[in-house]
């Protein structure tokens, strides 16, 4: 595993360090990761394991987004016409592609 160059700082320490160590040992995950999970409501072995192994039930129907059918139609038309498509991502999309 690659060693992180980032020094993570937690907003607040979890008071129950015994629970952190127990979950860390049980799941073979770092205490820091366990603290982050606990801060986000993942407070059991089962919840953390479910978070670590997501499945298709986590994915929402994209057609619930406003105007998705129009967007799909326009993209399909652009592909069929050989048009160039530029995709812009927001800050948590990771990159801008064109």
Segment 20-74, tens digit of pLDDT = 999 999 999 999 899 989 988 999 999 999 999 988 888 889 999 899 999 999 9
State how far the Cα of 47 lies from the Cα of 26, in Å rounded to an integer: 13
Task: Output the pLDDT for position 57.
Answer: 83
Task: Output the pLDDT for position 78.
Answer: 96
pTM: predicted TM-score of the whole model, two decimal places: 0.52
Task: Output the pLDDT for position 69.
Answer: 95
Task: Output the pLDDT for position 91.
Answer: 62
Q: pLDDT higher for 18 or 59?
A: 18
State how far the Cα of 48 lies from the Cα of 27, in Å rounded to an integer: 9
């Amino acid at each position: 595993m690659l060693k992180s160059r980032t020094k993570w700082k937690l907003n607040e320490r979890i008071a129950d360090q015994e629970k952190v160590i127990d979950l860390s040992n049980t799941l073979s995950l770092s205490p820091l990761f366990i603290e982050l999970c606990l801060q986000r409501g993942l407070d059991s072995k089962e919840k953390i394991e479910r978070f670590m192994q997501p499945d298709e039930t986590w994915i929402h129907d994209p057609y619930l987004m406003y105007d998705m059918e129009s967007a799909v139609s326009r993209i399909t038309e652009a592909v069929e016409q050989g048009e160039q498509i530029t995709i812009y991502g927001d800050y948590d999309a990771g990159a801008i592609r064109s």
